[in-house]
Amino acid sequence: KMSEVSEVITKADIKPKSMHRAKIWSDDVENLYRFQLAGYRDEVEYKQVKQVDEVECWPETGFVKKLQRRDNTFYYYNRQRECEDKDVHKVKVYVY
């Protein structure tokens, strides 16, 4: 049990070293877009805040399926691409 607790503590210390904006759409950019719509930086921050090990994804595409916001309401996403070309530049890509 102790190892799990210390693992969570070390995970909580992860902060990005730098950030840049996405230029072209990709699967990773799509998922970042979904996390940022729900109010998180990325999967790392979501897992820290919500204390979950796995994020629910669509098996066909691997895109995020459902996220819980900080106010505990849920965001549900389609299995197809949702981040349009005009929104790609708004997505922040964090480097650890």
7 assigned to some structural domain: no
Domain count, the chain: 1
Residue 32's contacts (CB-CB under 8 Å, 6 or more residues apart) are 22, 42, 91, 92, 93
User: What 3-state DSSP class applies to 48?
Assistant: helix
Residue 18 lies in a domain: no
Domain extent for 58: 31-95
The answer for residues whose C-beta is within 8 angstroms of residue 4's C-beta and 6 or more apart is: none
Whether residue 2 lies inside any domain: the answer is no
Q: Residue 55 domain-assigned?
A: yes
77 belongs to a structural domain: yes
Tokens of 82: 């949702």
Quick check: is 82 in a domain?
Answer: yes
Cα 46–52–54 angle (5° rounding)?
90
List the pLDDT tens digit at each of the 96 positions of the chain: 434 444 444 455 678 899 999 999 999 999 999 999 999 999 999 999 999 999 999 999 999 999 999 999 999 999 999 999 999 999 999 998
